[in-house]
Amino acid sequence: MQLAKQAATSPGESAGSAARVTPGEIRVPGESGFWILILGDLTAFALMFCVFIYYRGHDVGLYLDSQLRLNRAFGALNVVLLLTSSWCVVQGVEAFRERITQRARRCFGAGFLLGAGFVVVKVLEYGDKVREGIAASTNEFFMFFYVLTGIHLLHLVIGLGVLAWMRAKSRSEWSTHRDVALAECGGVYWHMVDLLWVALFALLYLLR
């Protein structure tokens, strides 16, 4: 989309060329098969969200009281960290496609650091809860809290590995179409981690 004003791909260019995209072109970001994985993961989370709301409805008071023991500042800070990290990764994928390697590396590096910041905040938050004697066994709300945020954190840590790979890959000026497609898949995965946190923040921290 965007980029590549002159889609001037010379006849000999193919395997070693950057994946240029013409404006307005209809195309699958990344690989089609990867989207099946993303849609499956999104569906699994959607079911967990619905189960949470369903159980919440059977003991609203407990959920509201328990929610007050969460630190919204931690949750909100993590929203900002992940949204900003996602934005950096968008810029990184753009630069990667354009073969602006240094910019791609900087953007993926910044995205990684912001994502790592999320982990630090999460560890601080879990630490606070443990010091207060709050565990998954405390009550149903905190069982959901630890399970949902824990599964999300696992996804995020995998995403950090992907971002580190993307940063390393962007060192080369000779990215192939496949490299670009893989970088786009990495970006899509990272944005999924971001949007899942947007939903979790609303459900766990904000919904009264």
List residues binding another protein (CB under 8 A).
1-3, 5, 24-29, 35, 39, 42-43, 46, 49-50, 53-54, 56-58, 60-61, 64, 72, 76, 79-80, 83-84, 86-87, 89-91, 94-95, 98, 100, 184, 187-188, 191-192, 194-195, 198-199, 201-203, 205-208
**Least distance from C-beta 181 to another protein, angstroms?**
12
Torsion of CA 144, 157, 195, 121, to 10 degrees: 70
Instruction: State how far the Cα of 105 lies from the Cα of 93, in Å rounded to an integer.
Output: 10
**Least distance from C-beta 179 to another protein, angstroms?**
17
Token pair for residue 188? 């899509």
Cβ proximity to another protein: between 65 and 135 the closer is 65
**Least distance from C-beta 184 to another protein, angstroms?**
8
Residue 174 exposed, middle or buried by CB count within 10 Å (0-12, 13-18, 19+): exposed
Contact partners, residue 181, CB within 8 Å, separation at least 6:
19, 30, 31
Cβ proximity to another protein: between 2 and 14 the closer is 2
Torsion of CA 179, 41, 71, 123, to 10 degrees: -60
**Least distance from C-beta 192 to another protein, angstroms?**
8
